[in-house]
Amino acid sequence: MRRLKRWLALCAGIAMTGVLTVACDENLNIQQRYGFTLETMPVQKRLSVGETAEIRCTLVREGEYDEARYTIRYFQPDGEGELRMDDGTVFLPNDRYPLERTSFRLYYTSLSEAQQVIDIYVEDNMGQVVQKSFTFQNDTDTGE
């Protein structure tokens, strides 16, 4: 009876080792692609020529991946103005700039009396892009 128990225990151990060996996968699956959004505080809608609007931004990520990298760029389909980062970097349209922080501020200065539209794009190194648009109307003070 003891021999039978030992033999069964040995068979069970061998079977368990076989199952565990087959179940192991040498390709560890690490999620690298997490969605994200760009959230902003409310932004004024009217600007005079030379006036600057502050755009407070937060990059909200659905997960953390150490090697995730983000860039920011903008395009201005209407009007004329200047966009700069809180570190003083003046953006050129459609040029990408590294985004090192998840909370940052952008400053848009109106250089036109016409309606102005800016499109902000944040892209990660996995090819995901989020866009946020801002429209500014001219704020002409007639003094009446």
pTM of the model: 0.75
* pLDDT tens-digit readout, 41-96: 999 999 999 999 999 999 999 887 778 899 999 999 999 999 999 999 999 999 99
The whole-number pLDDT of residue 8 equals: 77
Degrees, nearest 5: CA angle 26-30-17: 30
The whole-number pLDDT of residue 29 equals: 57
The whole-number pLDDT of residue 144 equals: 44
Query: Which domains, ranges and CATH numbers included, belong to the chain?
Result: 36-138 (2.60.40.2410)
- With a cut of 50, say whether residue 142 has pLDDT above it: no
Extended beta strands in the chain, E state: 36-40, 46-47, 52-61, 70-78, 81-85, 97-99, 103-110, 116-124, 129-138
The whole-number pLDDT of residue 143 equals: 45
Provide the pLDDT confidence category of residue 102 given band limits of 50, 70 and 90. very high
| Direct distance between the N- and C-terminal alpha carbons of the chain, in angstroms, rounded to an integer | 108
Percent of the chain with pLDDT strictly greater than 70: 87
